Structure 1
Amino acid sequence: MAQRYSKQEKAKWLDSSSKPKRRSPLRILESENSALIAENKFTLLGRVTNPQIQRPRALVEYMVQYWNLENRVIGRELGPERFFFRFETEADLQLVLKKAPYHFKKWMFILQRWEPIVSEAFPAFIPFWIKVNDIPMHHCTELTLNTIGQALGPVIDKDLSDGRIRVNINGLEPLEMKIPIRLPTGEVTTVFLEYEKLEKHCFSCFSLSHEEKACPLKPLVSNKESRIPGINQEKTLQNLEDGKRRQDARRSNWPARREEVPKSVEGPRGKEHFNSRRSDHREKSDYPSAYSHRHREPRRDFSPQDCSRRDYSRPASYNFRRDSVRSGFDLHPHDRSHPRRIACDEEIQSSSHNLVSGRRSQHLPSSRDLLG
């Protein structure tokens, strides 16, 4: 009879024990948190738009120094995308928001005042100053600007003289570069939006989170020659070119800065005087040293026979003024009156004479013979 297999053995279905268990959400009881809400009333919550390039920790450290608020603000990262800044006063917080928008590593980042809400879409708004171009002159009114601004987002401020509006733009969605409008006369025209302080973005879908080469909505066959870049794209390319030119200028000036000598080293008479004094000090030094050029003896080539003439039976001494541990000779090379030194010199000369004449000494003198 054929053997029968169970459903688990046939792998026709997965055992319920192997499935990952989904834990139900834990319920957090309501507690008193008014103190925490009051503590964060001067807090800005931020988010990077390109996490692959921007790092929240590096951004926090840089912006605190950029604002010159090292002792008046606390910043911290909240994961791979979010971070926060907690200020001491409302004035510092408003000063930072007034100068927005900001960018880090050529990419925009979001900075919004903290609110006691929990949402994946918070923070999201970037306050952009937007210049509206190609509005008919006889229709460039405050009502027209306000209508265009409300179609983009909450309007913060208006500048009628320059045709600008400040709007909270959702930085998590692609930007709008142009808007068709219908005039009171029934005519339809298109106005173009120019975003101030806009840095890198996708030139295809106008998203702030990636470049054009990484755009998921980019067509498979794109004709770059037929596409004319808009105002914002031209400004972005110009900003990138200016930044690269400044960086090259700093690199070219760096070798010249390294060659400069600090004033503390140069002194009142310059670097050459310092080097000449240092060299003169070395040449005029009268300190009796074994490494001094004035007391150095000519170099001699010792034969293997010379090694046997060293006195290893004598106890070693580590005193500078007595015999050397290594050679058994006096460390003062100029002292030629020592009897052991005289005997050694005579033996070296006789050995050298035998080697030159082709004769080999049959008897190696011992240390007792050298001492006489």
Structure 2
Amino acid sequence: MEEIGNRRETTVSKNDCGDEEQRAEIDMWRYIFGFSEMAALKCAIELGIAEAMEAHGQAGISLSELATALNCSSSYLYRIIRFLIHLKFLKEKCSDATNGAKLYTLAPLGRLLMKQGERGMAALVLLETSPVMLAPWQALSGRVRNNDRPAFEAAHGEDVWDFAATNHNHSKLINEAMACDARIVVPAIVNGCTDVFDGVESVVDVGGGDGTTLGMLVKAFPWIKGINFDLPHVVSVAPERNSVEHIGGDMFKGVPQADAAFSMWVLHDWCDEECIEILKKCREAIPKDKGKVIIVDAVIEEADDEQEKEPGDYNYKLKGAKLMLDMVMMAHTNRGKERTREEWRYVLDKAGFSRFVVRPIRAVQSVIVAYY
């Protein structure tokens, strides 16, 4: 039987527990204390554990060396390390032959805690564990029960967009998290959907943040001219990037002209009616003969979709993450949501698109290509 606390898998035989009630109790303890996993990851990132271990490579680092490097209490640090080993972020090596001290190294999962690097996901962890993003979860039941004020607004007095516009530090967290996601997802797009950009000479990234995503796409497809389009307060602090022009504006009022309108992790922030309005503006921005809208967002599989997938399929394994992300949308946006294929069909049809295709990639999101 797996120890309580391992979210990755709980394997309990009938001989171990005897019945479903005991298995349910074990799972329930795991959910009750599940928040501790998120807190431990945030702690590890803020301390810089991954970076300190990476500097020592596969040779490993002892507890005393790590405590000295991080200026931490070794007794408390050991308890964090023990938990991270249990969660498969760290590994314990054989003891150092010279002094008998245990040595620790990063597991592949632990490298995702790096603040820098192509695959580091620390910024996403820090955003979702920030006090600003945690508070709305306390108001979720009121939103569900009475269709009350959005949970984020109930917690902070304004929606997430207005809050970010006047709180620079939170806006910075959002941009860093989106850039972090881009460093993971864009290579998956490039490797899995190269043909989507064939014949496309210009792309406008609608809600493109600081331009990280578009900068990576332009680098992968150097014939493309990029337009990074977002709210004025966002693009005003966006760094300069080769072949990328930053333009501030409101996507509900209009989108700059380009061969293709690109949107990643934007449309899920909005309800169907708002999503349709954004898509209409995107459709107006592209040429009738060859224009396309490229959407990178989650597609939640329904029962019929799941029957077509093998248990080892990457996107099949990510369904739980997609459903969690839908809960995030409920807590952090006014009426945003993750959509099924049929729900995507509905909004795209209402926005006037003739057809669309869904291309799974190695990410939580899929690539949805809609044609004029």
Q: TM-score, normalised by structure 2?
A: 0.22
Q: Which has the larger radius of gyration?
A: 1
Q: TM-score, normalised by structure 1?
A: 0.22
Q: Which has the higher contact order (CA 8 A, sep 6+)?
A: 2
